[in-house]
Amino acid sequence: MAAGFDKDCKVLGSVLSLGFGFVTGGTVTLASRPGNPKPRVIRLIDKKAVMNSMGFPGQGLEPAVKRLSKSHKHKRRVLVSISGTIEDEIFECLRQTQSLVSGLELNISSPNTAGLRIFHEPARLRGLIEGLAAEKTVPLFVKLPPWPRDEDTRRELLKLADTAVDAGVDGLVIANTHPIESSCLKVGRGGLSGAPLFEHTELMIADVQARVQGQASIIACGGVSTAEHVWKLLATGASAVQLYTSFIYEGPGLPARINKRLVKLMSAAGISSVEDISGPPPPVK
């Protein structure tokens, strides 16, 4: 489960029991935040997509830490997403949460939160990650913004991937929601998630894999709803896969159905580990 579903780390164990291999709580920020004004979540039912302009609503770091402390038995399958608009906020989130989880996801890419774009400047991002890497005791992932297919913007955002890896991250999450403008959202803009994103996600995973060449793990996120989607992303270079919006449309049984179908595909391909997945998924009824 991707970040954003359980913002205050209230139901991580329950989410895991549905069949997820791991769950990312948060995004957690140092202080509590109200988020952006409503309406801030709009379903696009015909597209199986969602527009949101949430803006990190949450109770803040202290309540999240208390809940994470109580769910210690799930620690090895829990990551937490952290963020802030200045470095000190992010450092404090890392210091207080890292002993309670198995990994940290640094969110510098939410299109719904003012102030994050400052970390899209490579020098600023490098300084932040180098500082976090010097203090981290668990793997650190950075969630990047998506990039369009036009070369100028694509090249600029791929530099962020290079910078993050060079500065010491263990992995990259590809990618956050896609920026969208809409008068249906009170603030007029937000992020698009769901089915329309999958093909773009696959292309971005290929882009990043070609750049990092195994120097960092890649977590794929965006438009995933089937075992075939999971197969394609793993075959393209992802180490793990997250979902969120499809869970809203397909219901709580989705992760278990994906797992069951994935095992069937692997059996048809004659493999027993997801690490051996390659090429297109086999044709299985």
110 is a catalytic site residue: yes
Distance from C-alpha of 110 to C-alpha of 114, rounded to nearest angstrom: 9
For 214, residues 6+ apart whose C-beta sits below 8 A from its C-beta are none
Q: 166, 129 in Cβ contact below 8 A? A: no
Q: Which of 198, 178, 43, 29 is nearest to 112 (CA)?
A: 178
Max alpha carbon distance in the chain (Å)?
A: 52
How far apart are alpha carbons 237 and 20 in whole angstroms? 20
- Choose, from 109, 110, 217, 225, the residue flagged as catalytic: 110
Nearest CA to 245 among 185, 191, 174? 191
> 24 phi and psi, to 5 degrees?
-110, 115
Active site residues: 110
